[in-house]
Structure 1
Amino acid sequence: MSQRTRLPSESRQVPESPVEGSLEVRGATLRFRQEGQGPAVLVVGSSVYYPRTFSAALRASCRLSFMDLRHFAHGNGSGLAKGITLNAYCEDIEAMCVELGLERFVLMGHSHHGNVALEYAKRYPGRVSRLVLIGTPPCDVSRTLEAGQHYWDANASGARKTALEQNHALLDESAMASLPPGEAFVARYVADGPRFWYDPHYDATPLWQGVPIDTEAFTAFRNFFVDYRFYWRLVDLSAPVLVVMGRHDYVVPPTLWESRLPDLPPVTYRLLERSGHTPQLEEPEAFARLLLEWLGLGKP
């Protein structure tokens, strides 16, 4: 059963103010948030984190629907984290689409959430009019980690490397061990900021405020991609695909995509020069302009 701040019929209209609610699935409570006006865009991952990363310009031109995936959702006590599968994640997205009345829409995913978005699009191609992948690795975890380290060693400045060393030196491992797992996850993510952000001193802590982190589910989520094969066939998924990467992404380096593009169906690939892993936040105007022009909605 879902919980809403508005009547069910109202979620099927273009919202003029934010609409929030939740959807119960087996093992978790998935929240959603809808903002803006225009064509439907579904952003999968977190209904708390991701609204903080997209600009007002996009909300003026698109109806953005943000939904939780299980690792960033509240568990409901079923203890099912170990049984989480990639197929279950796709079924969760489909259940949310039914709940929100999203029949055909632009699907967007950031980082590994882009991999989930791709897998959903392959299973439900009739739903997805266009697919947007932001900072998404086009391969498995081990190859991503290897490429990221190589890109860091070869391209990160001395000042950036020093900033990372200083951040890690400030981490008190004994104190970290006493933190709740979700808080420890955020502390390590923030300390690794020089790898994630164009600005090596950017503090991502506010982005994580209020985001529930189920670390057992997160481990299961990461394991989806240990032996992951990134691919699709045009016969199965014909929706146009936009890939947006950041020049200073040392976690999912752009070199990964540059090496894979010849082997994949045609995509629109764009590299933003003053971005790291999260271009929609780091270069909001450039990202909004790029996305809206690709969607055929003109300039923001």
Structure 2
Amino acid sequence: MDPPSVQRRPSPSGVVRVPGATLGYRIEGSGLPTLVLGSSVYYPRTFAADLRAKLRMAFVDQRHFAQNADAAAGDPLETYLTDIEALRAAIGFERMALIGHSHHGNLALEYAKRYPQRVTHLVLIGATPVGVADTLAAGVAYWAAHASADRRAALQRNWARLTPAALGRMSAAAGFVAGYVADGPKYWYDPAYDASGLWQDVPIATQALPGFRALFVDYVMRWNPGELRAPVLVVAGRHDYVVPPTLWDAARPTLPPHTYHLFERSGHTPQLEESACFDRLLGTWLRTGSG
């Protein structure tokens, strides 16, 4: 496999204007070109600084986490893939590792299927292999079976503080963040973790969120190994009650060869929750194609 390359070095941060949106990017580090989908503000906070010594990481917005963004027009998937390709071209990565977290992982896979010549490695963190209804049902069942009394109490306390009246006084974007933070016991190994700092100054285009979510209503993860030759790393957390690891127990036998790693002391975001272990895993896998 040929190494990825960068044609040129743009400004460390900037924006790319696409139809209906202004998408930000932020480039940090040196080494293997790596595109991280989702947000140029949120996601740099979730990856350890040490990774920047090995990876040239370009964090890019998707339009639901961007300034001045409209909902995707026409086919939402086509719009999102076109957005990513415009960002890649502006940044100047010819070939790169591609990382996506949560539903951005699903988006990363779809981009890699459309543009396999651009992707040398594909990393899916906390991504779901199935559609929205099946993911929600699996999360409810996993919570019922495995959530501790302390975790349940923490969730109850959070939502007791976040009353409907309080939510009603917030903007749609602020309410989105407040609900995510209140649901922290479902997302994080530490049920007391306060994720509000991760969301500080993150633009949220709530008008674009429904179109993004619609991409995954009937989603089924699949890829053709004859077309997508990049190795695939799937990362999950034992204490992820939103995209529980039980989904992967069922899905993995149906998928082409890939590397799977379950972090025992993580929830939905292992790259932050067990950063040292995650960095070692990623470094080994990028070198060898296996964990």
> What band does the TM-score fall into relative to the shorter chain?
over 0.9
Cross-structure match for 1:191: 182
Give the conservation status (yes or no) of the 8 Å contact 1:81–1:216.
Answer: no
Cross-structure match for 1:15: none
Gaps of 5+ in 1: 1-7, 12-17
- The 1:38/1:240 distance shift into structure 2, 3 A limit, reads same
Alignment partners' CA distance in 1, 2:105 and 2:89: 20
Cross-structure match for 1:209: 200
Query: Of 195, 200, 218, which residue of structure 1 is paired with 2:209?
Result: 218
Cross-structure match for 2:17: 24
Report matched runs for 1:1-300 at 5 Å.
9-11=8-10, 19-75=12-68, 79-81=70-72, 83=74, 85-296=76-287
Letter in 1 for 2:281: L
Letter in 2 for 1:43: V
- What's the TM-score, normalizing by structure 1? 0.91
Letter in 1 for 2:98: L
Alignment partners' CA distance in 1, 2:143 and 2:33: 37
Give the conservation status (yes or no) of the 8 Å contact 1:72–1:212.
Answer: yes
**Residues 83-103 of structure 1: CA distance to partner in whole angstroms, max 9, x if unpaired?**
460111011111111111111
Give how far 1:229 is off: 2.1
Give the conservation status (yes or no) of the 8 Å contact 1:82–1:217.
Answer: no
Give how far 1:149 is off: 0.6
Alignment partners' CA distance in 2, 1:176 and 1:123: 40
Letter in 1 for 2:36: V
**Residues 236-273 of structure 1: CA distance to partner in whole angstroms, max 9, x if unpaired?**
21210000111100000011011111000011000011
- The 1:80/1:281 distance shift into structure 2, 3 A limit, reads closer
- The 1:191/1:82 distance shift into structure 2, 3 A limit, reads farther
**Residues 115-145 of structure 1: CA distance to partner in whole angstroms, max 9, x if unpaired?**
0000000000000001000000001000000
Aligned length: 282
Alignment partners' CA distance in 2, 1:84 and 1:100: 25
Alignment partners' CA distance in 1, 2:210 and 2:251: 26
Alignment partners' CA distance in 1, 2:200 and 2:95: 32
Alignment partners' CA distance in 2, 1:139 and 1:238: 22
Of residues 187-196 and 172-181 in structure 1, the stretch that sits farther from structure 2 once superposed is: 172-181
| SS of equivalent to 1:107 | strand
Give how far 1:9 is off: 4.5
Alignment partners' CA distance in 2, 1:212 and 1:253: 27
| SS of equivalent to 1:239 | coil
Alignment partners' CA distance in 2, 1:80 and 1:286: 37
Alignment partners' CA distance in 2, 1:82 and 1:22: 20
Alignment partners' CA distance in 2, 1:231 and 1:54: 27
Moved over 4 A (4+): 79-84
Give the conservation status (yes or no) of the 8 Å contact 1:43–1:109.
Answer: yes
- What's the TM-score, normalizing by structure 2? 0.94
Give the conservation status (yes or no) of the 8 Å contact 2:102–2:125.
Answer: yes
Letter in 2 for 1:107: L
Gaps of 5+ in 2: 1-6
CA RMSD in angstroms comes to 1.4
Give the conservation status (yes or no) of the 8 Å contact 2:30–2:54.
Answer: yes
Alignment partners' CA distance in 1, 2:47 and 2:87: 21
